[in-house]
């Protein structure tokens, strides 16, 4: 069994227009909105499962997720 994780999540603040699509799409609740800069930020990157939904769904292609693949862990149900 392995768990995917993100090594890093980068948001290009020159491309991000503050649409909040990534915030709505992320099932791990990794992103928050920075009202001062009017962009999304990866507030909890350690929670990222590297599913890449945010990267694929960003209409401005402003998100780059670098996954750590694979991280093998012991299966707790064996």
Q: Which domains does the chain have, with CATH numbers?
A: 5-68 (3.30.70.20)
Q: Confidence class of residue 68 from pLDDT cuts 50, 70 and 90?
A: confident
* Cα 61 to Cα 55: distance, rounded to the nearest angstrom: 7
- How do residues 25-48 score in pLDDT, each as one tens digit? 999 999 999 999 999 999 999 999
DSSP 3-65: --EEEEEEE-TTT-----HHHHH-TT--EEEETTTTEEEES-GGG-----HHHHH-TT--EEE
pLDDT of residue 66: 93
Percent residues over pLDDT 90 in the chain: 74
Give the whole-angstrom CA distance, residue 62 versus residue 26.
Answer: 15
73 has a pLDDT exceeding 70: no
Mean predicted lDDT score pLDDT of the chain: 89
Whether residue 1 is predicted with pLDDT greater than 50 in this model: the reply is: no
């Amino acid at each position: 069994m392995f768990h995917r994780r993100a090594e890093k999540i980068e948001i290009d603040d020159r491309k991000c227009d503050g649409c909040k699509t990534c915030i709505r799409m992320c099932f791990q609740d990794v992103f928050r909105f920075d009202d001062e800069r009017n962009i999304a930020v990866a507030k909890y990157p350690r929670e990222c499962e590297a599913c890449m939904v945010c990267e694929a769904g960003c209409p401005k292609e402003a998100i780059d997720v670098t996954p750590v693949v694979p991280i093998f862990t012991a299966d707790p149900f064996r």
